[in-house]
Amino acid sequence: MFNLENLVRPNIKSLVPYSTARDEFKGSARIFMDANENALGSPSTQWYNRYPDPHHTRIKQKISAIKNVPASNIFIGNGSDEVIDLLYRVFCEPGKDEVVIFPPTYGMYEVSARVNDVHVIKVPLMADFQLDLRRLEQAITRITKMMWICSPNNPTGNTIDRVDIEMLLNNFDGIVVMDEAYINFSRQRSFLSELSEYPNLVIMQTLSKAWGLAGIRLGMAFASQPIIEYLNKTKPPYNISQPVQDIALKALEEVGQVNEMIVELVKYRMELEQSLLALSCVEHVYPSDANFLLVKCRQAHQLYVHLVDNGIVVRDRSKVILCNDCLRITVGTQNENQALISAMNTFQSQ
Ligand SMILES: Cc1ncc(COP(=O)(O)O)c(C=O)c1O
């Protein structure tokens, strides 16, 4: 039986969170002399002398309206990477608990586990890049606290079968984290609408991909209210800076433009896929639900070096499990995609 209180670390359960000046006085006032800010402001700009909203209230209201999820089920982090770290801090006892990852997948689940001294069990995906449920069943133990499902998965680009994920949500008594960083590029729908059905589900999304804002570092987690409260009380009080909050609020007004951009990038992805398939150095292009393509090449590493020599950087994944001879190529602008294809063409003729 899933029981959240049995999963949360005792030190986090008993933690009294830091109380900010804005927690202790809410509302409007004429003069604020309570937070040791610099009343004169910086010489270069007077705008950022006050601490930002630690609760990200307006951002959550906007995201709530866009995603149709109550604000109390939303957490905002300094990129998904902060959310990943916080999930370890809330749920995993260092040196004791363990988590499951499904390689090949996003590298930070493992790096963050190691930072937090959490043991990682690896259950590789099958050859079709889907979950190996039989091996998973054998791998899970009493101290398995979380599993990390990336869908669409980085670097393979595919969406994980919904039925398999539902099976895990219904049967695993720990936390199932669904990383939906690339969901806006996918034909499959998000698990957001199922949030209220599964108390063990945490969904991560980000402004770094479809929203085009990797530079500002803004990640989101969606989960039950008690899980969100644990994340809130564990995070640093001012984890989202004022400039980032300002930019995010502006960007979140532009849903229509973002949707147009997604359609455009998906079109470029399909065009790029066709162009790549016509090259003799390309053996296979894996189907993608993301903004990148995993491409099996002849002489992948030499091709990678050739592209770098031509000023084009892709990701060499040829040493990664199940990705032998593969390059991961992020979809670029039409010009960038054309430049890539031209450079790959000259590799063919070498
Ligand atoms: C699957 C996945 N999740 C999360 C991230 C990072 O997200 P953020 O920029 O919000 O930290 C990436 C970045 O490449 C990713 O591939």
pLDDT tens across 242-254, in order? 999 999 999 999 9
Where does residue 197 rank: exposed (0-12), middle (13-18), buried (19+ CB within 10 A)? exposed
Which atom of ligand 1 is nearest the CA belonging to 105?
A: 1
Is the pLDDT at 349 greater than 90, yes or no? no
CB of 80 shorter than 6 A to ligand 1 = yes
CB of 214 shorter than 6 A to ligand 1 = yes
Least confidently predicted of 36-40, 107-111, 124-128, 332-336: 36-40
Residues whose CB is less than 8 angstroms from the CB of residue 230 and which lie 6 or more positions away in sequence, other chains included? 8, 12, 90
pLDDT for 23 equals 93
Only one residue has tokens 């990852």, namely 101
β strands within the chain, DSSP E: 74-77, 98-101, 119-122, 144-150, 175-179, 201-206, 219-222, 282-285, 292-297, 315-316, 326-330
CB of 112 shorter than 6 A to ligand 1 = no
Q: Going by CA atoms, what residue is nearest to atom 6 of ligand 1?
A: 80
Task: Give the model's confidence band at 348: pLDDT under 50 very low, under 70 low, under 90 confident, else very high.
Answer: low
User: Domains of the chain, with CATH numbers?
Assistant: 4-253 (3.40.640.10), 256-348 (3.90.1150.10)
pLDDT for 44 equals 83
**Token couple for 282:** 């390309």
Kindly state the average pLDDT of the residues 68-75.
Answer: 98
Give 347 Cα–ligand 1 centroid separation in angstroms.
Answer: 31
**Token couple for 315:** 């990701």
Distance, in Å, from the CA atom of 248 to the CA atom of 203, rounded to the nearest integer, reads 19
Give 178 Cα–ligand 1 centroid separation in angstroms.
Answer: 12
Cis omega (within 30 of 0) for bond into 155: yes
Is the pLDDT at 110 greater than 90, yes or no? yes
State which of 86, 101, 102, 108 you would mutate to test the pocket of ligand 1, scoring each by most atoms of that ligand within 8 A of its C-beta: 108
pLDDT for 287 equals 98
Q: Please choose, from the candidates 17, 49, 45, 23, the residue with its C-alpha nearest in 3D space to the C-alpha of residue 36.
A: 49
List C-alpha distances in Å: 176 to 81, 87, 155, 200, 327.
16, 11, 20, 6, 29
Residues whose CB is less than 8 angstroms from the CB of residue 4 and which lie 6 or more positions away in sequence, other chains included? 199, 224, 226, 227
Q: Going by CA atoms, what residue is nearest to atom 2 of ligand 1?
A: 181
State which of 63, 75, 78, 80 you would mutate to test the pocket of ligand 1, scoring each by most atoms of that ligand within 8 A of its C-beta: 80
State which of 106, 156, 244, 328 you would mutate to test the pocket of ligand 1, scoring each by most atoms of that ligand within 8 A of its C-beta: 106
Residues whose CB is less than 8 angstroms from the CB of residue 40 and which lie 6 or more positions away in sequence, other chains included? 49
pLDDT tens across 62-71, in order? 999 999 999 9
Kindly state the average pLDDT of the residues 88-97.
Answer: 98
Is the pLDDT at 46 greater than 80, yes or no? no
